[in-house]
Chain A
Amino acid sequence: MAGEKLNLDILQKDVAYTGEGISVKSLEDEISEERDVQNVKVEELKVLRERNVEIQKSLADEVGKLRKFSDYINGTATKGGFWAGFKEVLSHLPGLKNIAISQRSIEELLKQQYQISARRVKEAAEYVDTLKKSEQDLYEEIDRINGKILEAATNEAAAADHVIELKRLIDEIGEEMQTVEAGSVDARDLEAKQDKARAQLAKHSANLQLYSAAEDRYANLKTNTRKLVETIRNLGQDIGQYTTAASIKLDMASAQIQAIGTAADASVVMLELKKSLDVMTESMNATTQFVSDTQVFFRKNLDNLITELDTFDENTSKLLDENLEFSKQIEDERIERAIEKAIKNRAERGDAPPAGEGA
Chain B
Amino acid sequence: MSTGGLVALHTQHLAEPVASTYLDLLGRAIRSARLNKTFPERRQLDGTLRALGAKAHHGLYDGIYLDSRWGLPNMASFTRPVADQGVGAGALAEYESQAELDAKADQADVFARMAAKRRYFELLQTLTLAPVDEHRVLLRRHEPAEARASFRVELTKLSGSGAYLRVVIELTQTSSVWSHKLVDLDVNGEVASGTEALRGMVYRFASYDAETLFIRLHELEGVQVERVQRGIVGPVRFALPTEHGVVSVLEAADDLTSAAWSEACAAAGGQPLMMASFGSDVAALDVREEKSNDPLAPLLSAGIRDVERARYTLLRERHPFRVYKDRKFVASRPLVAGIKSACNDAGCKNLIYPLR
Q: Are B197 and A103 in contact (CB under 8 A)?
A: yes
Chain B residues positioned under 8 Å from A261 (CB to CB): 160
Known A99-B196, A107-B203: A251·B65 in contact at CB below 8 Å: yes
Q: Are A253 and B110 in contact (CB under 8 A)?
A: no
Which of A99, A111, A129 sits near B75, CB closer than 8 Å?
A: A111
Task: Give Cα distance in the complex from A119 to B132, angstroms.
Answer: 13
Q: Are A258 and B75 in contact (CB under 8 A)?
A: yes
Known A104-B196, A105-B200, A105-B204: A252·B79 in contact at CB below 8 Å: no
Which of B80, B111, B200 sits near A133, CB closer than 8 Å?
A: B111
Say if the beta carbon of B113 comes within 8 Å of chain A: yes
CB distance from B14 to the nearest CB of A (A): 13
CB distance from B5 to the nearest CB of A (A): 13
Give chain A's interface residue range (CB within 8 Å of chain B). 35 or more
Chain A residues positioned under 8 Å from B199 (CB to CB): 103-105, 108
Task: Give Cα distance in the complex from A262 to B67, angstroms.
Answer: 15
Stretch at the interface among B81-89, B327-335, B346-354: B81-89
Q: Are A126 and B83 in contact (CB under 8 A)?
A: no
Say if the beta carbon of B108 comes within 8 Å of chain A: yes
Known A111-B132, A111-B133, A133-B114: A254·B76 in contact at CB below 8 Å: yes
Say if the beta carbon of A153 comes within 8 Å of chain B: no
Say if the beta carbon of A275 comes within 8 Å of chain B: yes
Q: Which residue of B lies closest to A116 (CB)?
A: B83
Q: Are A251 and B76 in contact (CB under 8 A)?
A: yes
Q: Are B108 and A136 in contact (CB under 8 A)?
A: yes
Task: Give Cα distance in the complex from A129 to B96, angstroms.
Answer: 13
Say if the beta carbon of A49 comes within 8 Å of chain B: no
CB distance from B31 to the nearest CB of A (A): 26
Chain B residues positioned under 8 Å from A135 (CB to CB): 110
Say if the beta carbon of A91 comes within 8 Å of chain B: no
Chain B residues positioned under 8 Å from A279 (CB to CB): 8
Q: Are A259 and B196 in contact (CB under 8 A)?
A: no
**Size of interface on B: residues with Cβ below 8 Å to A:** 41
Chain B residues positioned under 8 Å from A99 (CB to CB): 196
Q: Are B86 and A252 in contact (CB under 8 A)?
A: no
Chain A residues positioned under 8 Å from B158 (CB to CB): 111, 258
Say if the beta carbon of B172 comes within 8 Å of chain A: no
Chain B residues positioned under 8 Å from A129 (CB to CB): 110, 113-114, 117
Known A111-B133, A126-B91, A259-B9: A119·B117 in contact at CB below 8 Å: no
Task: Give Cα distance in the complex from A119 to B160, angstroms.
Answer: 21
Chain B residues positioned under 8 Å from A258 (CB to CB): 75, 158-160
Say if the beta carbon of A257 comes within 8 Å of chain B: yes
CB distance from B262 to the nearest CB of A (A): 26
Say if the beta carbon of A132 comes within 8 Å of chain B: yes
Task: Give Cα distance in the complex from A123 to B7, angstroms.
Answer: 25
CB distance from A261 to the nearest CB of B (A): 7
CB distance from B30 to the nearest CB of A (A): 21
Known A111-B132, A119-B83, A122-B83: A265·B204 in contact at CB below 8 Å: yes
Q: Are B111 and A256 in contact (CB under 8 A)?
A: no
Q: Are A104 and B200 in contact (CB under 8 A)?
A: yes
Chain A residues positioned under 8 Å from B109 (CB to CB): 132
Say if the beta carbon of B146 comes within 8 Å of chain A: no
Chain B residues positioned under 8 Å from A108 (CB to CB): 133, 199-200, 203
CB distance from B252 to the nearest CB of A (A): 15
Q: Are B79 and A254 in contact (CB under 8 A)?
A: yes
Q: Are A252 and B7 in contact (CB under 8 A)?
A: yes
Say if the beta carbon of A250 comes within 8 Å of chain B: yes
Within 8 A of A (CB), among B63-119: 65, 67, 74-76, 79-80, 82-84, 86-87, 91, 94, 107-111, 113-114, 117
Say if the beta carbon of A242 comes within 8 Å of chain B: no
Which of A115, A255, A265, A276 sits near B132, CB closer than 8 Å?
A: A115
Chain B residues positioned under 8 Å from A115 (CB to CB): 79, 82-83, 132
Interface string of A87-110 (1 = CB under 8 A from B): 000000000000100111101100
Chain A residues positioned under 8 Å from B114 (CB to CB): 129, 133
Q: Are A259 and B117 in contact (CB under 8 A)?
A: no
Task: Give Cα distance in the complex from A54 to B80, angstroms.
Answer: 22
CB distance from A128 to the nearest CB of B (A): 9
14 residue pairs from A and B, CB less than 8 Å apart: A108-B199, A114-B79, A118-B80, A118-B83, A119-B87, A123-B87, A126-B91, A133-B111, A136-B110, A136-B111, A254-B65, A257-B75, A258-B75, A276-B9
16 other A-B residue contacts (CB within 8 Å) besides A123-B87, A255-B11:
A105-B199, A105-B200, A107-B203, A111-B132, A111-B158, A118-B80, A129-B114, A133-B114, A250-B76, A252-B7, A254-B76, A255-B8, A256-B8, A258-B75, A259-B160, A275-B9
